[in-house]
Amino acid sequence: MRNLAKKRLNENLKQSVKYLTLVFNDFFILALIFLFGALMFWYAQAMKTMPSNLVFYKPLIAVILWLPLLVGRLVTLIQEADMQFLFTQDENMGQYLRPMFNYSLVVPCILEILLAGIIFPFATIKAGYNAAQYVLIVISMLLIKYGMLEVEQKNLYFGSHVSHLATSIIALVVAFLCIYMPLIGFVFTVLWTVFMEPGFNKKPKIFDWRYAVESEKARKDRIYSIFSMFTDVAEKQVTIKRRKYLDFLLPKSLVKENPNLFLYRRSLLRNPEYLNLFVRMTIFAILISWIVQDTWWALGLSALVIFLTVYQLLPMASEFDSNIMYRVYPIVTEKRSKDLIKVLNLALILQWFLISVFWLIVLPINFNLLIAVAVLFIFTMMTNYGYLPYKVNNKNIR
């Protein structure tokens, strides 16, 4: 069973690396560099003027260090066929799950340590912790994640089921205990980890294969949803459905639409890959504008986000090429590129409008802000009528 687990982990790692190379493309890496640089610049400037030992500093540190614990569910890689071929291996599933458990710890622990390193100056200088206390808190957080994964592992057996929401709330409470009483919190997390160890309770249990298969499917679907924001994921099942609350964005009269406009508009609003991409990129632009709190930084980063939105919506150009009904019906395709540009133009104007409204709410209203709004609009139009037609024509769409 251990060899089977290692083989599946190797295959899963190869698949993840394949998609990660597509996710962390040149444009996304550039966006991350700008965002991280802006965040660190704001952080350094804020540390100079921030007062010390305010009452909300410690709860803020608890929440920040708790957030990475929500990342990374237990990886099992259990397949539906295992219910038939491995159902007699209940007593050996501990051997199978041990490498999976260790693998599941890697990403959340790396994120926890990185985030803890970033807020170390704030915790020691402004919140009043010494280095030893802070290290103890970070170790406690890692033990909390270890305990959360142990709870998930126990859930795979009959007779034990704790929801992820309940586990996350318990983890937050323990995180607050560690923040206010580091030594007591550390002892508590050690005891919790030991108690949750599978060897602590020797009572034999029956493996819940159905639950294990469904939970692994849900975990994979969440991972594929992240990958699908940047590239096509063959393993992900896409469900296209009508969203009535977005129908106001569609023209009420079908006379104003030709078939390509009809298809592209509904594809953008009803295909979760395109709609989620548009929503998340817009939220991303809003968040970085709120973080940097500077008009020109917000302008540059938001312009980059709009460009990345266009770049990642380009697959819409050939979405219907493999649809046999699209080929059978007498649909005129000569002006298809113009129809796509028209649809994306409306989407980008909406994105520009939402970003600009948020700027007016959170940034100081002055002449520079109005110039930034106008420049962002000009950049949006240049991207849509300059870059987009060039890329669409390269895809041989007419």
Rg (CA), the chain: 25
Query: Which helix H or strand E contains 32, and what residues bound it?
Result: helix 26-49
Q: Which pLDDT does position 135 carry in this prediction?
A: 93
Amino acid at 189: T
Specify the DSSP class assigned to residue 86: S
**Are the C-beta atoms of residues 380 and 306 closer than 8 Å to each other?**
yes
- Which regions of 22-79 does DSSP assign to beta strands (E)? none
For the chain, residues with pLDDT lower than 70 are 197-204, 229-230, 232, 237-250, 252-256, 317-335, 393-398
Report how far residue 278's alpha carbon sits from residue 281's, in angstroms, rounded to the nearest whole number.
5
Q: Which pLDDT does position 89 carry in this prediction?
A: 82
Encode pLDDT of 114-145 as tens digits. 999 999 999 999 988 999 999 999 999 999 99
**Are the C-beta atoms of residues 4 and 77 closer than 8 Å to each other?**
no
Q: Which pLDDT does position 398 carry in this prediction?
A: 47
Based on the number of CB atoms within 10 Å of its own CB, is 273 exposed (0-12), middle (13-18) or buried (19 or more)?
A: buried
The number of beta carbons lying within 10 Å of the beta carbon of residue 152 is 21
Q: Which pLDDT does position 201 carry in this prediction?
A: 58
Q: Which pLDDT does position 328 carry in this prediction?
A: 56
Half-sphere exposure at residue 336, Cβ-oriented, CA atoms within 13 angstroms: 21
User: What's the CA dihedral at 61, 36, 49, 59 to 10 degrees?
Assistant: -10
Encode pLDDT of 191-242 as tens digits. 888 877 655 555 557 888 899 999 999 898 888 877 876 676 777 766 666 6
Looking at the DSSP assignment, which residues form a beta bridge with residue 207?
A: 157
Report how far residue 203's alpha carbon sits from residue 155's, in angstroms, rounded to the nearest whole number.
15
> Using CA of residue 141, residue 146, residue 152, residue 157, what is the dihedral sign?
negative
Q: Which pLDDT does position 324 carry in this prediction?
A: 61
Based on the number of CB atoms within 10 Å of its own CB, is 25 exposed (0-12), middle (13-18) or buried (19 or more)?
A: middle
Q: What SS3 state is found at 271?
A: coil
The number of beta carbons lying within 10 Å of the beta carbon of residue 182 is 21
Tokens encoding 165? 């929401």
Report how far residue 185's alpha carbon sits from residue 175's, in angstroms, rounded to the nearest whole number.
8
**Are the C-beta atoms of residues 309 and 235 closer than 8 Å to each other?**
no
